[in-house]
A and B are shown apart, each in its own frame.
Chain A
Amino acid sequence: MTTQTRKIKVVLGKVGFDPHDRGVIVLTHALRDAGMEVIFLGKFQTAERVVKAAIDEDADVIALSDHCGVMRLIATDVMAELKRRDATDIVVVAGGIIPEEDIPYLESLGVTGNYRAGTSFQEIIDHITSRVKKERWREV
């Protein structure tokens, strides 16, 4: 497979009871339009289920969405589970309502993007693409 035809595979998930899924539904379509393969797991997921799906699907990226202001806890659990399952090479990005003061902590975990409403899809697509190319595909 050449890099030109290789598709970035993204698993999108919402952990916990947060019901706000319009953002993640729209993002699913935007990433697909950008040529990525996208699996939206739906709402009411656990950290374990999201990580398992990403490993089973051989995904490059886990994209987490939360509008309850608790991405800090969700990301902590997802990163711990990735470590436990020896899958820390999967790129993790996040978006939603994320308190600004939590962003340095999320970055320190390796969870990047941390986008809020109004962010352009292109910015998100470029960020995911560049992280995957650099960290997963070892392209410069």
Chain B
Amino acid sequence: MGDLWCLNRVARLFIPAPRARMLGQWEVAMTTRQVTYDRAYGSLVRTATQSGIEVKPVYTPQDIADIDYERDIGLPGQYPFTRGIYPEMYRNRLWLKAFIVCYATPEETNRAFKEYIAAGQTGLRILTDTTTLSGVDPDHPLARYDIMCNGNPTFALTEYETMLDGIPLEDVDYESANSTPSGSFFTAVFLVGLVEKMGCDIKRLRGTNINDPIQAFILYGTPEFPMDLARRVTTDLIEFGAKYTPRWHPSTPDGYNMRDAGIDTFRELAFCIANIIQYYGDAIKERGVKLDDFRPMVFSTSAESDFFETACKFRALRRMWARIAKERLGATKPDSMKCRIAIRTAANSMYPQKPINNTARVAYQILGAVLGGVQSIDPSGIDEVFGEPSPESRIFELDIQHIIAHELNVPLVADPLAGSYYVEWLTKRIEEGTWKILNEIDAQGGMWAALKSGWLKQQFDIPTINLYKEIEEGKRLIVGVNSFKGEDGAISRAIIDSAYKVPADPKRFGAIDKVKRLRATRDERKVVDSLNELYRATRDGENIVRPAIEAAKAYATVGEMVGAIRMASGYCYDPYEMVQTPPFMKHLEPSANR
């Protein structure tokens, strides 16, 4: 641990008196000085970080006097992992360059994956369209608006076959961004189904499933799996993952989406950790799994524009998780006390006014994440606020990361910010604020209870409204938006025009014909048998992941599988109560089974 930190400690031991006198004189000078903020010179408008942490003009050894290097910071690769989870950090392995690839059709998405892999993409992140994410098929009456929006409609295994055709399935990192309750479930079901169908080994399926129904109830609100069902399906996925897919993480919290909705960093971390305690706590209690059954936990979080807050957040998260995993969730292996951090850069920080500025935002956000020692980076597109990121903007985001790695030389040294008085103080301050929220959640009996009582929703709405008020009132400056405004030039115009737009309606509605064609050509006997089995397993309280995989292999659709699971739980077929049960599933209706 020979670094600046040690020198500070030595200094404090041997020359305390002059330092105290020096600080005292400085403090007197500061308090008697008249500070005027002159906007004409571009003065700062705030003295707090993005999450409202008031900060002093300077930090000194006194601010970190209660931090013990060995106990609180330590070395990379060692408990409590504040400085990173690998001894040599990025020297051995750079972060995954993982972003969502989700164009309107599985064919386009397949071509894009191949192009991006060639350009350096190492984490393949899947996002389905908004319709499928909501638990229905393209021929649902409400689907016409959102078919092919934000992704391609992966309503059946056929679409995964096309989307991942020719791309290795083993030993490649697949990440899912489908974070509604059914979205997470079907990503796992289709991926495992495809791996098996191609004759590959599901033990070698690698990656992460964002699976965070509590977050989804607040932010998506899709009704396909009501709370009891969503809770059970999540526990099923964790149990299945522990037994059969040791390298595919079955459930990671979606801190990114929560943060993007406008909450502060304390709540982002606290809700992530509390959700993990809830989901894995359920599985440990009810299914006999152990945290040691899994590879290091994955946290999906956000990288924001506030530079130091972003970098420090990841240090705080690792330290907190290590303690919680060990002391609360019974981890005994060091690996289970580590967490891998996957970030997405903040899409809500990208603005349509002077979009050229988004290039600076995304680059600094990535840099903050790298300085914080994260394992996976998914940047927002500089044109994302106008549509899906264009191929060039995706390649540009990869290049930012290549520049940081190979030109800036930032990853050469682990946790290079450690030992800074401010960074260590801020890391601790974020941790303290997060513990406070965690204790509030514990007092309520966990996150499902906090969701049901309405407390959680309030935690989201109030900060979101305050955030926008601050922007409106000029207490938070956004360049080009509420300050430093200007016209779009040729470069900004090109960014606006290059975003990938939702296709015209005739192409979008092609998916309706496609699902109808599938229904007409598949082996209906197999479909009905497998849906019957999915229904039975759901009704009898068995783990439903395997029966759903078998139904997917028989080409049952998302809407049909959702319907079977719902009916076996006493709900009607269609979550949106707009379509009738299909004739071949009529016998599964709750009324037919009374």
Which residues of chain A have a CB within 8 Å of any CB of chain B?
Answer: 15-19, 21-22, 25-26, 29-30, 42-44, 46, 66, 68-70, 73-74, 97, 99-100, 116-118, 120-122
Contacts and interface: CB of A to CB of B under 8 A. Distances in A.
- Chain A: interface secondary structure? loop
Interface stretch (B113-121, B139-147, B168-176, B295-303): B139-147
A25 B465 CA distance: 8
A99 B464 contact: no
A19 B221 contact: yes
A22 B262 contact: yes
B210 interface: no
A19 B352 contact: no
Contacts of B351: 117-118
Nearest to A66: B145
A19 B146 CA distance: 10
16 contacts: A16-B142, A17-B134, A17-B143, A18-B130, A18-B145, A19-B180, A19-B221, A25-B461, A26-B464, A44-B223, A69-B502, A70-B146, A70-B149, A73-B505, A118-B351, A118-B478
Contacts of A97: 385-387
Contacts of A17: 130-131, 133-134, 136, 142-143, 145-146, 222
Contact of A69 (B141, B221, B501): B501
A16 B352 contact: no
Contacts of B261: 22
A18 B142 contact: no
A48 to B, nearest CB: 11
Contacts of B142: 16-17, 44, 46
A125 to B, nearest CB: 11
Contacts of A100: 386, 496
Given A17-B134, A118-B482, 20 more contacts: A16-B130, A16-B142, A16-B145, A17-B130, A17-B143, A18-B130, A22-B261, A25-B461, A29-B465, A30-B472, A44-B222, A44-B223, A68-B149, A69-B149, A99-B386, A116-B352, A117-B348, A118-B352, A118-B478, A120-B472
B530 to A, nearest CB: 26
B305 interface: no
For chain B, which range describes its interface: under 10, 10 to 19, 20 to 34, or 35 or more residues?
Answer: 35 or more
Interface of B: 130-131, 133-134, 136, 141-146, 149-150, 180, 219-223, 260-262, 348, 351-353, 385-387, 461, 464-465, 468, 472, 478, 481-482, 496, 501-502, 505, 576
Contacts of A121: 468, 472
A90 B220 CA distance: 29
A18 B149 contact: yes
Contact of B146 (A68, A120, A122): A68
A99 B387 contact: yes
Contacts of A73: 144-145, 505
A16 B149 CA distance: 11
Nearest to A101: B501
